[in-house]
Structure 1
C-alpha cells in the first residue's frame, strides 16, 4: 500500500455501511450511535430493507449518501468504488447473518455482526471458514463485555484476586414476551424472534441466554464444559422457548447456574453476574453498570466504581467520563466499536491487530452453547458436553 493511501486512512473517518436496521427495527439505531460516538467512523451507505421503498426512506431518514435494496449489490458496488465502505454492520434477523457476512467478507469488506452469529452451528462453521480465507475482520456485538467494570472483573479474576473459582451465577431476565406479542402484525421484533425460520432453534436462549453465557466465559476466563438445560415456552402456541434454566460445569472444576427469561413479569433488562472463589467474590448488575462489588473473605465489601477506582489497563482505556458521571449501554457498545475500528485501521494499513472485541470464535462458542442447551432440554434435561 502506498504512503499516500496510508496517510488517507490515518487522516479520514472510516466509511461504514449497514444491512438491516430500517423502519421498525430496534437495534440498528443503537449500532449507528455507537459506531459514530467517537468520531472515528460514519455510516454512509445502507441496504436497510429488501423493500425498495423502506430501504430508500430509511436511508433518507439517516441522511445516507447511498442506499440499496439488495445487500448483494451493495457488497459488489461498494467494493468496486474508490470511496467505498471500509466495514459493514449486520443488524438483520438471524437467518440473514451468515449470507450477508459472506457477501461482504468475500468482497474484502470488514464485518461487525449482531449475535447470535448464525441459526445453526453448521452455518456458523461455514462462515468461520470464509472469515479465515477472506483476510477480512469479523466482530460480534456481545455488548456487555464492553463495560469497563466487566474488563476490571475479568482482570481481577485473571490476576487471582478471587483465588480458585468455585461458582458462577448469571441471570438475564426480561418480560417483553409475556403475552403472544408475535400475533400483532406490527410487532416485527417479536415475530421474527419467535419464528424458527428466521431466529433458528431458540428464542430466549439464542437472544439473551447467549449473552449471559458469553459474559460468564469472558469474565471468568473459563469455558462452559457441559450443561443441563430445561427450556420452556410458557406462552401458549409459541414455537420457541421464552424461558430457560441451566446447570453448568466449567473447565477447571467450577460450577455454574444460568437463568434467562423473556416472560419474567416486571423485569426490564435485568442481567446480573456473581462469581465466587475461595478468596473473594464479585457481583455486578447491568442496570447499575458503574458499580462492581468486590467481596474479599473476612473483610468489608469494596465498591469499585467506573471512573474512580478501576485499576486495570483495559478498564481505564474504555472509561469515558469522570467519576460520578454514569456510563451505560451506549458507551459499552461504543467501546466494542472503538476496539474494532482501531483494528480496521490497522488492517487497512497492514499493521498488527490489537483485538479485544468478540470475534468469530465467540460466535462459534455461542452456537455450540445454544445447540447443546436445546438438545439437553429436548432429551429430558440431560447433561450435554459443549465441544
Structure 2
C-alpha cells in the first residue's frame, strides 16, 4: 500500500528547478495544472536563494514551502502531513540523479525531464534508486503524448504497415547555429559537458527522436553507427549527428538531429515504412497522420476523426478542428502520471491504456547517447547499446 493511502483530490506537487528564465519549468507547470490533477504547493526553483525566492513568489508558492536546497525540501516535505506526493525535476541533466534520489528514497513519486541523466553511469544509478523505491518514476518524453503519435503506434502494432522495413526520424533546429550570447543560460548549460553530459544535440533532442521511433515502432535496436560533429568553433559537445540504425528483425533506420540546421525551428518528423504501407507524422502538423499504402491512394488521418482508434481517442481533449498542440501533449504525460499515482494511493493496478515513458526508457535514451559517442570516436563504427 502506498504511503499516501487515503489521499484524495489533486496530487500535491513539488518542483525542483524551473525558476526564472527556465522555459521548460513553465511548460511543466502548465502541463501539470491543465487538467486539475495536480496542485503545485512547494518548490526549490533555483540553487540561488534570491532567485529561488523570487521565482516562488511569481508562481504563488507560500514562503514556508519555498526552499533553496532540494535535500531540505525532500526531508521536510516527507515529514509534513500535507507534504508533496510527487515532484517534477526540471534541472540541468547532471542534477537529475542527486535530486531524484532524495525524493525516491522517501517514497515521493518523480516526474523527470529528459534525458534521464548526463552519463550512462548516473542513469544506471538512478534506475537502481527507482527500483529500490515504491514510488513511480515518469520521464517526460512529451512527444509520445500526441494523439496522432498514439494512433501511429496503434496502427504499427495492429500490423497495418506489415513487416517494418525502414524507419526515418529527424529532429533539426538552428538555435545553436552560432556562438550564443554569454547571458543565454539555456545554451550555456546545454553546451557544457559537466552539466549536459556526454551528448549535446544527441542528448537534448536526439533522445527525443530515438524515443519517438522506438515508441511508435516497438522495434529493438541491434546496433548503430554514428557520425557526430561540432560545427561551431570551440564547442565541446556535438551539435549535429547522423546515426545509422540496425533493428532486430532486419529493419533499418536513420536518425538525424541537429541544432545548427539554418532556418529550422523544431522540425521533428517520423516516417515508418513496412511491406504493406507507410506512415508519416510531423511536429509542425501534429494533428495529421499521413498513411501511404503500397500501390494505393494516400490518406490523411486527422485527430478526432472517425478514422482514429481508441488509443488516440483517450488522449484527445477537444473536438476535431480545434487545434491541440505542444502543451496538450505534455499535459497528456502528466495526466497519465496522475492516473498511475492515483491508482498507487490504493494499491490498484494502473488503469488499462495508461502509457508513459519510464525509467527503462530513460536508461535506454542515455545508452543511445553513449553509443553514439563511442561510435563516432571509432570513425562511425558499428556499436551496440
Which category of TM-score, normalised to the shorter sequence, fits these structures? over 0.9
For residue 156 of structure 1, report the CA deviation from its aligned partner.
Answer: 0.4
Structure 2: distance between partners of 1:226 and 1:30 = 34
- Candidates 249, 254, 258, aligned match of 1:257: 254
Partner of residue 303, structure 1: 300
Structure 2: distance between partners of 1:109 and 1:211 = 26
Matches within 5 A, 1:75-90: 75-90=74-89
1:212 correspondence with 2:209: yes
Partner of residue 364, structure 1: 363
For residue 353 of structure 1, report the CA deviation from its aligned partner.
Answer: 2.1
> 4+ runs of 1 displaced by more than 6 Å?
none
TM-score normalised by structure 1 residue count: 0.96
Structure 2: distance between partners of 1:78 and 1:179 = 43
For residue 185 of structure 1, report the CA deviation from its aligned partner.
Answer: 2.7
Partner of residue 137, structure 2: 138
Partner of residue 97, structure 2: 98
Partner of residue 43, structure 2: 46
1:192 correspondence with 2:189: yes
Structure 1: distance between partners of 2:340 and 2:244 = 37
Structure 1: distance between partners of 2:169 and 2:375 = 19
Instruction: Tell me if the contact between 2:5 and 2:345 (Cα under 8 Å) persists in the aligned partners.
Output: no
Partner of residue 312, structure 2: 315
Partner of residue 275, structure 2: 278
1:288 correspondence with 2:292: no
5+ residue gaps, structure 1: none
Partner of residue 324, structure 2: 327
Structure 2: distance between partners of 1:297 and 1:379 = 38
Structure 1: distance between partners of 2:93 and 2:298 = 41
- Candidates 213, 233, 238, aligned match of 1:241: 238
- Candidates 6, 20, 24, aligned match of 1:23: 20
TM-score normalised by structure 2 residue count: 0.97
Instruction: Tell me if the contact between 2:230 and 2:237 (Cα under 8 Å) persists in the aligned partners.
Output: yes
Sort the Cα spacing of 1:271 and 1:373 in 2 relative to 1 into closer, same or farther, 3 A: same
Matches within 5 A, 1:330-349: 330-349=327-346
- Candidates 339, 349, 352, aligned match of 2:349: 352
For residue 311 of structure 1, report the CA deviation from its aligned partner.
Answer: 2.8
* Number of residue-to-residue matches in the alignment: 380
- Alpha-carbon RMSD across the aligned residues, in angstroms, is 1.3
SS of 2:383's equivalent in the other structure is strand
For residue 279 of structure 1, report the CA deviation from its aligned partner.
Answer: 0.3
Instruction: Tell me if the contact between 1:152 and 1:310 (Cα under 8 Å) persists in the aligned partners.
Output: no
SS of 2:296's equivalent in the other structure is coil
Structure 2: distance between partners of 1:309 and 1:230 = 43
